Structure 1
Amino acid sequence: MDIEILPLAEKKSRIENESELVFGKQFTDRMFVMEYDAGRGWHSARIQPYAPFSLDPAALVLHYAQEIFEGLKAFRRRDESIALFRPEENIKRFNRSARRMCMPEVDEAFFLRALKELIRLEADWVPRSEGTSLYIRPTMIATEPVLGVKPSSRYLCYIILSPVGAYYKGGLSPVKIWVSDEYVRVSPGGTGEAKTGGNYAASLYASTVASRHGCDQVLWLDAVHRRYVEEVGSMNICFVLDGKIITSPLKGTILDGITRRSILALAGEMGYEIEERALAIDEIFEGAESGRLEEAFGTGTAVVVSPVGQFTYRDRTVSLGDGRPGPLTLRLYETLTGIQYGRIPDPHGWVEPI
């Protein structure tokens, strides 16, 4: 399939002071779009000016939430080149989400080509300041106009871009976590491993409760026992316990994070034993109080690595460290961002040049 490049009548004004960039508020001049019809497949691939869509009020996505998305970044490197970080893995996960949500898969090689072409055209939007990047949001929605619970026969797939500022503007600061045992994110057999909007909508109320407790994020427990750690609202989570790195296993209820996978690989190379197992919230509190739990950190595209400084569960609160990131957390953050921005070598072949 060819990609048509539509003319751009006028360009937007960019934020010149990159310290003023915030996450997901400004979007570039162009976007990639293609459409799907049953019996015809994907068609009409194009890069067009960024603009609103016109959707029928009965479009299935609006009523039954048949939708998926991804999140990745493009980085401006020291030599002014632009690179992606493991984009093939994001596209593979996009297709896994599509299968789970009964949506058509995309051709992975074509989708990567389209993504790269879009970024080449929008290269001036990739910021240059320390810690900044171009956030990339591939999305697919069901557009068939019918009221009925069924897979759509029509879809719209698109990619939009947003220049984003450094996540930690004041330095790498530990976050406070509220542990939810009343609300759950997903259940076994559900859509927890798919990157679909409904999972995030279901998390919003608990996030407001966490905020009322003075916390930044929610830590979800499993839906069956309400005891075992799963993931944080926007991150996978890891614990440095008894000298090992322990994290929740991938069993269908948490997202298979690409940053998570990368961090675990780096930690293994640093000599740490990795253990993927169910970790009870009581063990976390006991470990924090006894000193067995040395560090905890979240991993995700937006944050890269986020140190955790406090957990609140029911009427108990425990703190980790001295208000600063732990040494392993900081080392992992600096190593992974060093690879992404080209400050240190990439022995894994994770970096994809544009």
Structure 2
Amino acid sequence: MAAFGTVFMPEMIISWFDGNGWSNAEVVSSDSLQLHPGAHVLHYSSTCFEGLKAFRHADDSIKIFRMDRNIERFAQSSELLALPELDKAATEKMILDIVAKFKNDVPEAPGSMYIRPTHIGTEPAIGKAASPSLTSCQYILLSPVGDYFSGGDTTLRLLLEEHGARCAAHMGMIKSGGNYASAMRPIMKAKAELNADQVLFCPDGDVQETGAANFLLIDGNEVITKALDESFLHGVTRDSILTIARDLGMDVQERQLTVEELLERAAKPGCEAALSGTAAVLTSVGTLIHNGKEHTVGNGGVGQTTLKLRQALNDIQWGKAEDKFGWLTSI
């Protein structure tokens, strides 16, 4: 099977902002994009994106999960990067139109169609290191996908990193390519030296997120995760899992979690930890690596509460449970 996110539909939908307004959206080939070599995005990283999914239900209908929330975050990221303002209604129509065009290619469960809206600064101006791009482009790519972690129900190994951050603190809530780039070296180092799957960034002992997913600690009936601020990404899957957990009567705590408390709780029998994200969904963490020592989370296996929460989310996404929160949009 091809690696997650490496197969694309042959066409994408695209729109250009010329400094005054957005062009009508067009469906074009997805294998090329013409930019001036001096385009702002190529020099000053004026780029943001989203990740959401469309699901095929048993009756062959196609539903997009939490599109409104993703578009809101997309627009917010664009604003915080000083990119031209998105027309949210036009972005929604672009997503609906391109998914409808390729609805027959949406995989059956457990697969889905990954949707990647992208917004980039296009102004050819290499002298604008401290000024925003006045022109831009947004496009929507589609990629049929299976499981992000191809190993299935296995547990992940995380290195706790207290001396570095995933990205600049004021950039954390922006879903920008530069944030992922800044986390890449420490992740590669952790994989090579410690066989870690990811790095959990905990600057000054404050447990935040990994390079590509939010982090949750599950201790009995408690779900603990960092309270929202601008230093880390406000995950849509994170919000969905917390909403489901509250609905199940769990004690959801959005607050500061220190490395010290994390390691203390993780050692308890029955404790669980997990990563949440559009791609990862909810994946168990079995081992935490800190100061050269490995700490087993609970019994080191896949967490039963983690499985229950993931199943509850998947059941809504694939139409096996009531969409009581109004998260699905029909194509």
| Same structural fold, with TM-score higher than 0.5 when normalized by the shorter chain | yes
Q: Tell me, yes or no, if structure 1 residue 282 matches structure 2 residue 272.
A: no
Provide the residue aligned with 2:246 in structure 1. Answer: 268
What residue in structure 2 maps to residue 296 of structure 1?
A: 273
Q: Secondary structure at the match of 2:260?
A: helix
Deviations along 1:145-180, whole A, 9 cap, x unmatched? Answer: 111211011101100101112335453211110111
CA contact (8 A) 1:83 1:352 kept: yes
Paired residues of 2:115 and 2:142 also in contact (CA < 8 A): yes
SS state of the match for residue 91, structure 1? Answer: helix
Match of 1:244 among 222, 227, 236: 222
1:309 to 260, 263, 286: 286
Secondary structure at the counterpart of residue 89 of structure 1: helix
Deviation at 1:308, TM superposition (A): 0.7
The equivalent of 1:346 in structure 2 is 323
Q: For the Cα contact (< 8 Å) 1:30–1:122, is it kept in 2?
A: no
Q: 2:90 matched to 1:140?
A: no
- CA RMSD in angstroms comes to 1.5
Q: Quote the residue 1:68 is aligned against.
A: 48
Supply the distance in 1 between the matched residues of 2:227 and 2:270 (Cα, whole angstroms). Answer: 19
Please say if residues 242 and 292 of structure 1, whose CA atoms lie closer than 8 Å, have aligned partners that are also in contact.
no
Structure 2 spans left out of the alignment, 5+ residues: none
- 1:110 maps to a residue whose letter is A
Distance 1:168 1:219, change over 3 A: closer
Hey, what's the Cα distance between the residues in 1 that align with 2:301 and 2:22? Answer: 49
Kindly provide the amino acid, as one letter, of the partner of residue 112 in structure 2: S
How far does residue 251 in structure 1 lie from its aligned partner after superposition? 1.0
Find the aligned partners of 1:46 and 1:246 in 2 and give their Cα distance.
44
- Normalised by the size of structure 2, how large is the TM-score? 0.95
- Note if 1:36 corresponds to 2:17: yes
> In structure 2, how many angstroms separate the alpha carbons of the residues matched to 1:75 and 1:272?
27
Which of the residues 74, 95, 100 maps onto 1:115?
Answer: 95
With structure 1 as the length reference, what TM-score do the two structures score? 0.89
Give the ranges of 4+ consecutive aligned residues of structure 1 lying more than 2 Å apart after TM superposition.
166-171, 321-324
Change (3 A) 1:23 1:227: same
Percent of paired sites with the same residue: 36
The count of residues paired between Structure 1 and Structure 2 equals 328
Is the 1:138–1:158 contact (alpha carbons within 8 Å) kept by the matching residues of 2?
A: yes
Q: SS where residue 179 of structure 1 aligns?
A: strand
Letter of the 1:305 counterpart: L
Aligned with 2:164 (options 164, 183, 186): 183
* 1:59 aligned partner: 39
Structure 1: gaps (5+ residues): 1-19
Counterpart of 2:250, as a letter, is Y
From the superposition, tell whether residues 293 and 231 of structure 1 become closer, same or farther in structure 2 (CA, over 3 Å): farther
The alpha carbon displacement at 1:229 in A equals 0.3
Q: Is residue 313 of structure 2 the alignment partner of residue 336 of structure 1?
A: yes
SS of 1:311's equivalent in the other structure is strand
